[in-house]
Structure 1
Amino acid sequence: MSGNRAVAYIEPGVVEVQDIDYPTFELKDGPGVNPANVGRKLPHAAILKVLTTNICGSDQHMVRGRTTAPPNLILGHEITGEVVETGPDVEFIKVGDVVSVPFNISCGRCRNCKERKTGICLNVNPDRPGSAYGYVDMGGWVGGQAEYALVPYADWNLLKFPDADQAMEKIMDLTMLSDIFPTGYHGAVTAGVRTGSTVYIAGAGPVGLAAAAGAQLLGAAVVIVGDLNEDRLAQARSFGCETVDVSKGDPKDQIEQILGVPEVDCGVDAVGFEARGHGHGAGQEAPATVLNSLMDITAAGGALGIPGLYVTGDPGGIDEAAKVGSLSLSLGTGWAKSLSFTTGQCPVMKYNRDLMMAILNDKVQIAKAVNATAIRLDDAPQAYREFDSGAARKYVIDPHGVTGANAN
């Protein structure tokens, strides 16, 4: 087998489907590949036929030109697939297994991996701890918005579904295990959500909606989701969330109307560095807005989960500080209120098996919550445009027609 097609970033606002090499058990040179990784042997890897691969808001940051991503970088870090070939060192994963791929690439051998900190593996990215498929400055591992993809350290990284037929029946839910469901859930967990909590989630994109579903799964009494986009707020309401339209002013006032008090127990930032202002500043970029607002509305002694992406290099930042990831935070507010903060990549492997069991046993309908929509690989450029315009959907690329998307 030698053919493969994939979605590539070309320039700001432009992606295209390209013919690329079929994976091999060696990391080759290419756009974004760290020179120290070129020629890296991968006998521990598996090659997957990609069944589903999702468009993520983190991909959209690159496509908007808000990172240093190089042209022709193959996109995609949310991968679910069927194993079609394994390297000679793979012992437990077998051809034919249907699996979920954590977006974090991790070795399973370093100190951080052994401590379940798989988002900051020490061995897969020569530049710094942490790596991901198809992402800028993450080591150059080829992205998974493709027909076929390579997964290193397969025995460690891959989550095998217990029954392949059952997995295919629930593929639109299970595809969310690679990133957004664990990421949203991690935001809720690190914010301290538990039975009876009141929670405010900033952002009604897919990660925010996944955080809302995760908060409900954890037993939150009230989940409030804030956004500027009415379609996305309507999607949050469709599965029992309260909503706040931040274009109408300070979230605190609307939260008080819902709860009777102007604060919540727990706060989640599912927006990240391209945040917009509230009230009169709505629509204008103000990257510290969400974090400062969450510190204001979270009760003293509470916590903030911050799964929203922040970067150290943003060519489109609104000022010189923002271009290097420096924001004007009211840290004094956080200190005075004894707030806790958790940032960084979600360690997907910490949560994915438990969330898989919740899906397989009908405890959560995550595809419905995020409005999952299957599309063909060739439809990806249009889907990126629609997602960028604020479509209240989670686009799921189906390269081989397993969901019926190729019949559209």
Structure 2
Amino acid sequence: MTGNKAVAYKEPGKVELIDIDYPTFELKDGPGVNPANVGRAVPHGVILKTVATNICGSDQHMVRGRTTAPSNLVLGHEITGEVVEVGPGVEFIKVGDICSVPFNISCGRCRNCKERKTGICLNVNPDRPGSAYGYVDMGGWVGGQANYVLVPYADWNLLKFPDKDQALEKILDLAMLSDIFPTGFHGAVTAGVGVGSTVYVAGAGPVGLAAATSAHLLGAAVVIVGDMNADRLAQARSFGCETIDLSKGGPAEQIEQILGVPEVDCGVDAVGFEARGHGHDAKEAPATVLNSLMEITAAGGALGIPGLYVTGDPGGVDESAKKGALSLSLGTGWAKSLSFTTGQCPVMKYNRQLMMAILHDKVSIAKNVNAKAISLEDAPKGYAEFDAGAATKYVLNPNGYLS
């Protein structure tokens, strides 16, 4: 039997490379697996040899101990791989295909999937709508920061790259299609970004940089990125963004210095529930980004909210925050007739179009997010550096496909 190593969450602040079973076409019991999913047959699945699998800010929430993730949960929902086995129910995907895996698992059969709401599939997670690989409370599908991974409903879920050699030439860019590029694009689209828009993106991590890249792709006139991390702000400036340093105070005054008015047409929250307040030595204040976006987005505008918010946060700043209950100035949003879009990005709504933009040199997403390939063995170091604020998107290379 082929060996399989994987990156697992051990305890707050610690991940470790462990040995796990080679995948089979059945969901086995294990850390985080919903009991109702144990024994679930997956004849519609394939086994991938992992080409690239990325470290995500959403993984970091678990690694910091800010969720109820159990020890030994195998991490990784940003997966690109080569098909090495197909289940008996797979018709169109073939051995040897290189494919992008949307991070949200969906069945393609339920009402929500048929309405392109693949982030809230009704059939893959017994607890609630929506699922993902290697994530707490998402059904227990094993993560892809491993040599091999099982992908269910393969004919539906997988985005096959049209030419294998071309794909491998652009693999760092294509690796972003599993999550952050569609997620950032979704944030920009739902914020209403279009030709001539002025856009504020809160957060210069990989999703924020992907949202800023997407805003440019959608024709924005000015894209402003706010953060407290100087290196990440420099990365945003490297591809034409304006930036504001939130350690110096809130965004409105700094936006006015750029645009002449203290507001933008469109706002994107790429931070989520671990947000901090503004100013030097600001403390955690999870509603800060949402409230500031309502203040600086023009009346009648929209907020795209791809940043992650949770219903259970053991490290929350107060009892309300521990349940995901934040003190929002909803009256401001109501008075300004603002629209809000939250939740998982429905990756399949965007990933093919973004793949074509990459393959035909319309966008350089890997460069913009400063993607860097590292070995599976270096994953703990990558997690630590990313958590410390590195302006880098770490891409794990379990099987040597990446140069």
Q: TM-score if structure 1 supplies the norm length?
A: 0.98
Counterpart residue number, 2:401: 402
Counterpart residue number, 1:382: 381
Q: How does 1:361-380 map to 2 (within 5 A)?
A: 361-380=360-379
Paired residue type of 1:148: Y
Counterpart residue number, 1:44: 44
Taking every aligned residue pair, what percent have the same amino acid on both sides?
A: 84
Structure 1 unpaired stretches of 5+: none
User: What SS does structure 1 have at the residue aligned with 2:216?
Assistant: helix
Q: CA deviation at 1:233?
A: 0.1
Counterpart residue number, 1:215: 215
User: What SS does structure 1 have at the residue aligned with 2:319?
Assistant: coil
Alpha-carbon separation, structure 2, partners of 1:111 and 1:43: 22
Paired residue type of 2:26: E
Q: How does 1:32-181 map to 2 (within 5 A)?
A: 32-181=32-181
Q: CA deviation at 1:346?
A: 0.1
Alpha-carbon separation, structure 2, partners of 1:250 and 1:228: 11
Show CA shifts across 1:45-91 (max 9, x none). Answer: 00000000000000000000000000000000000000000000000
Counterpart residue number, 1:346: 345
Alpha-carbon separation, structure 2, partners of 1:232 and 1:250: 18
Alpha-carbon separation, structure 2, partners of 1:284 and 1:398: 36
Alpha-carbon separation, structure 2, partners of 1:97 and 1:14: 34
User: What SS does structure 1 have at the residue aligned with 2:385?
Assistant: helix
Q: CA deviation at 1:400?
A: 1.2
Q: CA deviation at 1:403?
A: 1.4
Counterpart residue number, 1:304: 303
Paired residue type of 2:291: N
Show CA shifts across 1:243-276 (max 9, x none). Answer: 0101101210000000000000000000000001
Alpha-carbon separation, structure 2, partners of 1:2 and 1:137: 29
Structure 2 unpaired stretches of 5+: none
User: What SS does structure 2 have at the residue aligned with 1:27?
Assistant: coil
Paired residue type of 2:152: P
Alpha-carbon separation, structure 1, partners of 2:178 and 2:351: 8
Alpha-carbon separation, structure 1, partners of 2:213 and 2:351: 15
Q: CA deviation at 1:2?
A: 2.8
Alpha-carbon separation, structure 2, partners of 1:23 and 1:221: 47
Q: How does 1:208-247 map to 2 (within 5 A)?
A: 208-247=208-247
Q: CA deviation at 1:301?
A: 0.1
User: What SS does structure 2 have at the residue aligned with 1:83?
Assistant: strand
Counterpart residue number, 1:289: 288
Alpha-carbon separation, structure 2, partners of 1:285 and 1:50: 36
Alpha-carbon separation, structure 2, partners of 1:38 and 1:8: 20
How many aligned residue pairs are there?
Answer: 403
Alpha-carbon separation, structure 1, partners of 2:287 and 2:85: 46
Alpha-carbon separation, structure 2, partners of 1:34 and 1:283: 38
User: What SS does structure 1 have at the residue aligned with 2:235?
Assistant: helix
Alpha-carbon separation, structure 1, partners of 2:83 and 2:282: 44
Counterpart residue number, 1:337: 336
Alpha-carbon separation, structure 2, partners of 1:353 and 1:134: 23
Counterpart residue number, 1:313: 312
Find runs of 4+ consecutive structure 1 residues off by over 4 angstroms: none
Q: CA deviation at 1:279?
A: 1.7
Paired residue type of 1:108: G
Paired residue type of 2:71: P
Counterpart residue number, 2:4: 4
Paired residue type of 1:254: Q
Show CA shifts across 1:106-142 (max 9, x none). Answer: 0000000000000000000000000000000000000
Q: CA deviation at 1:283?
A: 3.3
Paired residue type of 1:212: A
Alpha-carbon separation, structure 1, partners of 2:2 and 2:203: 42
Counterpart residue number, 1:188: 188
Paired residue type of 2:145: Q
Paired residue type of 1:289: T
Alpha-carbon separation, structure 1, partners of 2:289 and 2:124: 32
User: What SS does structure 2 have at the residue aligned with 1:26?
Assistant: coil
Counterpart residue number, 1:197: 197
Paired residue type of 1:80: T
Alpha-carbon separation, structure 1, partners of 2:160 and 2:252: 43
Alpha-carbon separation, structure 2, partners of 1:84 and 1:202: 40
User: What SS does structure 1 have at the residue aligned with 2:277?
Assistant: coil
Q: CA deviation at 1:150?
A: 0.4
Alpha-carbon separation, structure 1, partners of 2:287 and 2:47: 41
Alpha-carbon separation, structure 2, partners of 1:400 and 1:147: 6
Q: CA deviation at 1:402?
A: 1.3
Counterpart residue number, 2:24: 24
Alpha-carbon separation, structure 1, partners of 2:45 and 2:304: 33
Paired residue type of 2:252: K
Alpha-carbon separation, structure 1, partners of 2:59 and 2:317: 20
Alpha-carbon separation, structure 2, partners of 1:191 and 1:332: 19
Structure 1 vs Structure 2 CA RMSD: 0.5
Counterpart residue number, 1:260: 260
